[in-house]
Homo-oligomer: A and B are copies of this chain.
Amino acid sequence: MDGTLSTADGPERSLLAPRNVVIVGASERSAWSAGSFANFERLGFEGKVHLVNRNGGVVHGQAAHQSCADIGEPVDLALLLVGAEAVPDALRDIAAAGIRSAVVLAAGLGESGETGQARQEEIVQLARELGVTCVGPNCLGFLNLVDKVPAWSGRMAELTVGGMAVVSQSGATAHTIAAFASQQDIGVSHVVSTGNESMVDTTAMAAILVEDERVRSIAMFMESIRDAAAFRALAHRAAELEKPIVVLKIGSSALAAEIAQSHTGAMVGDDNLADAAFRQLGVIRVSSLEQLVITAGLLSRTGRLNAGGLGVVSMSGGACDLVADRAEACGVSLPVLAEATTDRLAGFLAAFGTSRNPPDVTGAASARPELFRDAVTALADDPAIGVVAAIHVHPTEERGAVMKERLRIHAPAFTHPDVPVILLDQTIATMDPATVRHLDELGIPLAMTGLDHVVDAVGHAMRWSAWLGEARLPPDRVVTALDLAGADRIWNEAESLALLAEHGVPVVPHAHVSTADEAADAASRLGFPVAVKVVSRDIVHKSDVGGVVLGRESAADVRRAFTDVQAAVDCVQGATSEGALISPMRAGGVELIVGVVRDDLWGLALAVGFGGVLVHVIEDSVVRVLPVTQADVHDMLAELRGSVLLDGVRGSKPVDRDALVEAILQLAQLAERLGDSLESIEVNPLRASGSTIEALDASIIWSS
C-alpha cells in the first residue's frame, strides 16, 4: 500500500468520489469501453465523463480527446482501459493533465509470471514518481453507488443502494457479492475491486470506506493480507466507529492458497493464525459468499445489538425444530423467557400452543394472524431477547396477494423500538421486485431469507456486539523495549530460565553448577530427588544425546550424573559444556507447552497446548497474535480440547487458572518487550499443579 493514502483529505477523496472522470482508451470497438461508458449514464453520474482516444474522433456519440492534456479542465480520476504495454504512456499523459488517481484494468502484469511482475513494478515506480495512485492493475474498478460513480469496466447488475460496502481483490467476486446482496434486498454503498493491489489493497480501501458515514458495514473478500499493521489499524478504527468488518478470507485449503498465490503473488499465510487475529480484532470471519452478504447485510441494518438471545416465532413446528438445531450449532442461545412473557403468551396460546421460546403458535395463526403478531411482540419485549426471527413466507410475486393480508396484521410487530425483528423466509431465495414493493408498502423494514444463514449471521452479530461491549482490544500502552546484551547468539537453558524468572515467569528452583561437588551441594539444598541436565548452548536436544538424567536420589548419584551428562557434548560436533543444571523432580500436575513464535505476517504469536499424549495425538493447541489480554489467555485455555484436564481429572487437584494465565501473560509480555530481536521462546513443559505454576525448561532463539 502506498503512503499517499494515509491522510483523510488526500487523493482518496477523489479516488472513490471523483467529481469527473476520463476514460482513457475509449473505443467503439471495445465492449469494455462501451460498457464502462454506459454505466455512467445508467447510474446517473452527475459529473463529466471525458473520453480519450489516440485518434480522437467520435466515440460513444461524444467527441474524444487525443490526450488528457487536451481536456483543458481539471479531472479527478482516470479509468485506464488500455493494454498493459500502453499503461506507462497513459500514466504520463494523465499526470501531465494533473490527474492524481487512476483505475488500471490491464491484465498480464503481476498475476502472470516474472516478466509481468517486473513490468508491474516499473509501472508502480513510474506512478510514484508521477504522484499518481493506481487501483489495480487487473481489477474491474469500483462502483460508488452512494455518489453515483461507476468507475467499473464490466457489466453491472441492478444494485440496491444501502449501507454495506463490498471490497474484494477479485473483481468478478466483488460483482457476485453485490449482485447477491441485491437479490436479498440488501443495499450496497460501494463495490470495490483491487486486483493485483500494486499500490492499494483491500485493507487500504476499507480504511477509506470505514470513514464514510453512509457506510454501515464492510464485506471483504480477501485472498491475502499484505500489511498486518494496516489491517490492525483498520480493525481498531472500525471498532471505534462500531462498524463491523466481515471477512471471507480464502486459504483454509492448500489448493486455494496455491491458486490465490498464482493470481495475486501474495502468500495467504497461516490460516489458524488469521482466524485468531480476526477474532482478537473483532473482525467477523465467514466461509461463504452467502454468509458474507447476509452477515454484513444484517449488521448494516441493525448496527450493534443490545444484549440478549434469539426469539423465534413460527407457525411451523418443523421450522421451530430446525431453528433450535441450527441455533445450537451456531452458538446462538434461545433464552428461557421471563415468567411475565410466558404468562402473556399463555394468555392467547394456552388452548393449543406452548409458551416457551420458540412459542408454538401453530396453524391457528393462519386464520388469526394477531396470534403471530402478539407472540412476536411478547418476545421482543422480553428482557432476555436481543433479536426476534419471525419465520413467515414473504409476500412474493407468486404468493404476495395472499400473504399481504396476513402480513398487514403482523406489520406493527416488525418495528419494535429496541429489538430488531426479522421477517424470515425459511429457505434462501431471491427477493423478487414484488416482494420488495409489498414489504415497503407494509412498512416491514427488515426481511431476510434462509433460516440457516440468518441464524448464523445473528450469532456473529451478537458475538460482535458483545465483543464491542467488552472492549477486548488490548489497551494502548507503551511497551518498553528490552535491549539485551548477547541477544544475538544462542542462549543456554540456564540463561533462558534466568531471563524468564527475572521478568516474572515462575520457574522451577534450579542451580547452574560447574563441578560434580557443586552439583551434589545444590541437590542437597534443593532437595532430592533431582534432575541433572547438561548445560550447553550447542546442544538443542539434550535428552537425545544422554544429556539428561532424572530422579537422582543421593549426593553420590548426583555426582555420577554430573559426569555422565557431560559426555553428551562428545556426541555433538564442536559442542562445549557449560556445566549442568540441577533442579528438583516434580510429580503430578498438568504439563503444558507454551511458546511465542514469529509469524511473517502477524509478528509474534502465542501458542498454548498440552504436553504429553494430547499434543501428539490430537494436536491440541491454540494460538493468538500478540498482544493478548488476560481474557484472551483464559479463552485459549478454555478452547483446548483437553481443557477439562485443568479441572483435575482422575483425582488430581484443579489448576488455578488465574495463576496459569498470569504466568502465560508474563511470558507473552516479555516476548513483546524483546520485540524484533526475538525469533521464539518455548517453555516445555510449563507445569501446573494447583496454584503452583513452574517453567521446567525453556529455550530462546534470537532473530539472526
A residues apposed to B, CB below 8 Å: 31, 107-108, 112, 155, 157-158, 168-170, 172-173, 176, 179-180, 183, 221, 223, 248, 250-256, 259-260, 262-263, 287-290, 293, 315-322, 324-329, 334, 352, 354, 358, 360, 362-363, 367, 398-399, 402, 426-430, 432, 450-452, 613-614, 616-618, 641-642, 644-645, 649-650
Bound CA–CA A236/B265 (angstroms): 52
Bound CA–CA A173/B318 (angstroms): 6
Cβ–Cβ contact B250 & A325, under 8 A: yes
Of the residues B170, B289, B328, B452, contact of A451 by C-beta under 8 Å: B289
Cβ–Cβ contact A328 & B263, under 8 A: no
Cβ–Cβ contact A157 & B399, under 8 A: yes
Lowest 9 CB-CB distances: which A-B pairs, in order? A170-B318, A173-B318, A172-B316, A253-B328, A256-B324, A430-B430, A250-B321, A255-B324, A180-B427
CB distance from A183 to the nearest CB of B (A): 5
Cβ–Cβ contact B452 & A288, under 8 A: yes
Cβ–Cβ contact B223 & A318, under 8 A: yes
Bound CA–CA A319/B399 (angstroms): 34
**Residues on the B chain within 8 Å of A155, using CB:** 399, 402
Bound CA–CA A470/B427 (angstroms): 35
Of the residues B221, B318, B642, contact of A617 by C-beta under 8 Å: B642
Say whether, besides A290-B452, A358-B259, A430-B432, A328 and B644 are in contact (CB < 8 Å): no
Of the residues B289, B354, B426, contact of A322 by C-beta under 8 Å: B289
Cβ–Cβ contact B430 & A327, under 8 A: no
User: How many protomers of this protein does the assembly include?
Assistant: 2
**Residues on the B chain within 8 Å of A321, using CB:** 170, 223, 250-251, 256, 259-260
Q: Could you list 20 A-B pairs, sorted by A, with CB under 8 Å? A: A107-B362, A155-B399, A157-B398, A158-B398, A170-B321, A173-B322, A180-B427, A250-B322, A250-B324, A252-B329, A256-B325, A259-B358, A262-B360, A288-B452, A289-B426, A289-B427, A290-B452, A293-B427, A429-B429, A618-B641
**Residues on the B chain within 8 Å of A358, using CB:** 259
Q: Considering residues A107, A170, A260, A322, which has the most beta carbons from chain B within 10 angstroms of its beta carbon?
A: A322
Bound CA–CA A221/B428 (angstroms): 17
Bound CA–CA A250/B452 (angstroms): 13
Bound CA–CA A642/B618 (angstroms): 6
**Residues on the B chain within 8 Å of A452, using CB:** 288-290
Bound CA–CA A248/B325 (angstroms): 11
**Residues on the B chain within 8 Å of A180, using CB:** 427, 429
Cβ–Cβ contact B320 & A259, under 8 A: yes
Given contacts A176-B426, A250-B324, 20 further A-B pairs with CB under 8 A are A155-B399, A170-B318, A172-B316, A173-B316, A173-B318, A173-B319, A180-B429, A183-B427, A250-B318, A250-B321, A256-B320, A259-B321, A259-B324, A262-B354, A262-B360, A289-B322, A289-B451, A613-B650, A616-B644, A616-B649
A649's closest neighbor in chain B, by CB? B616
**Residues on the B chain within 8 Å of A360, using CB:** 259, 262-263
**Residues on the B chain within 8 Å of A260, using CB:** 317, 321
Q: Considering residues A263, A317, A430, which has the most beta carbons from chain B within 10 angstroms of its beta carbon?
A: A317
